[in-house]
Structure 1
């Protein structure tokens, strides 16, 4: 073989190999996607207004423009991508209001993850604002490690990290600052 033919054959084989690899790239990406466990909701609801009861008494009222239910996945959850308004009722009929721009309820753990401009308030004029707040449904307990602002008739305080009962009767806060009027 002459050097020109050898160089030409090498060039042609190299070009064909490059085209072959480029052509396989899109197929390879399709094969990779098959390994991902993509899932879609098993339930999809618009404009929901759910009332939860216990022994004939309403304990909560959940209102949301959109609900996606992922009940058939390994770790089932319900997503509220457009936010929620939740009203909790205690045994005496006192109400606690919760608003969030996004929420996820995890079915196995009974935890609700509230995110994006979360506000929780009650009829006594107490209000907590934060960017993320968890609610333990079983123990009726809220908690976060994020920064928060707590407003009450006695004053305003700020902090980072807090946990409390749904009626604000028991509150444990961390790194708190602000001015609060004494009851004395």
Structure 2
């Protein structure tokens, strides 16, 4: 039998924990901070993987509002930096909707960004914007910078 020696390069990493059909409620000082539903969660030493996606509600206790995020695949590194892929939808409490296929989220800086085609639909005034070369925005979508933009504006 001819076996290769196990090295760091060809070693298969094994998760510490695997959770199926999981609902997570995270509270701080008795207040709900966020709620996650995911079909599969795999915890590793330095990151958490959501290979079948997730639905995430982030609550703001001061305004009693939430931001919603859904995606097909998520990798969370130290619960600070997120790589999110596949059928991404982010909706803020006003109903503004961001849609894209890949995005990065830095929770420490409270920013999201990508270099992919992104669409934003503003609920209040029916404006639809398309960013061909990506986006930089605050995580609540209050401040947005679109790259190579086009759009549709309602005329009254």
Count of residues in Structure 1 that have an aligned counterpart in Structure 2: 149
Provide the rounded CA distance (Å) in 1 between the counterparts of 2:129 and 2:100: 12
Provide the rounded CA distance (Å) in 2 between the counterparts of 1:161 and 1:77: 25
Provide the rounded CA distance (Å) in 1 between the counterparts of 2:154 and 2:136: 21
Higher relative contact order (CA 8 A, sep 6+): 2
Structure 2 counterparts to residues 102-181 of structure 1, below 5 A:
102-107=73-78, 110-153=80-123, 154=125, 155-159=127-131, 160-181=133-154
Provide the rounded CA distance (Å) in 2 between the counterparts of 1:139 and 1:49: 26
Picking from 51, 60, 63, the partner of 1:92 is 63
* Distance apart, 1:165 and its partner CA: 1.6
Provide the rounded CA distance (Å) in 2 between the counterparts of 1:89 and 1:131: 24
Q: 1 or 2, which has the higher strand percentage?
A: 2
Instruction: Tell which structure's C-alpha radius of gyration is larger.
Output: 1
What corresponds to 1:14 in structure 2?
none
Q: Where does the alignment leave 5 or more consecutive residues of structure 2 unmatched?
A: none
TM-score under structure 1 length normalisation = 0.75
Q: 1 or 2, which has the higher helix percentage?
A: 1
> Using a 3 Å threshold, how does the CA distance of structure 1 residues 57 and 139 change in structure 2: closer, same or farther?
farther
* Distance apart, 1:56 and its partner CA: 2.4
Provide the rounded CA distance (Å) in 2 between the counterparts of 1:181 and 1:88: 31
What corresponds to 1:52 in structure 2?
26
* Distance apart, 1:161 and its partner CA: 1.3
Provide the rounded CA distance (Å) in 2 between the counterparts of 1:64 and 1:139: 25
TM-score under structure 2 length normalisation = 0.87
What corresponds to 2:48 in structure 1?
78
Secondary structure of 1:31's aligned partner:
coil
Provide the rounded CA distance (Å) in 2 between the counterparts of 1:61 and 1:165: 20
Per-residue deviation, residues 126-170 of structure 1 (Å, max 9, x unmatched): 101000111112232211111101111321110121121222111
* Distance apart, 1:51 and its partner CA: 1.6
Secondary structure of 2:63's aligned partner:
coil
Provide the rounded CA distance (Å) in 2 between the counterparts of 1:49 and 1:139: 26
Provide the rounded CA distance (Å) in 2 between the counterparts of 1:134 and 1:59: 20
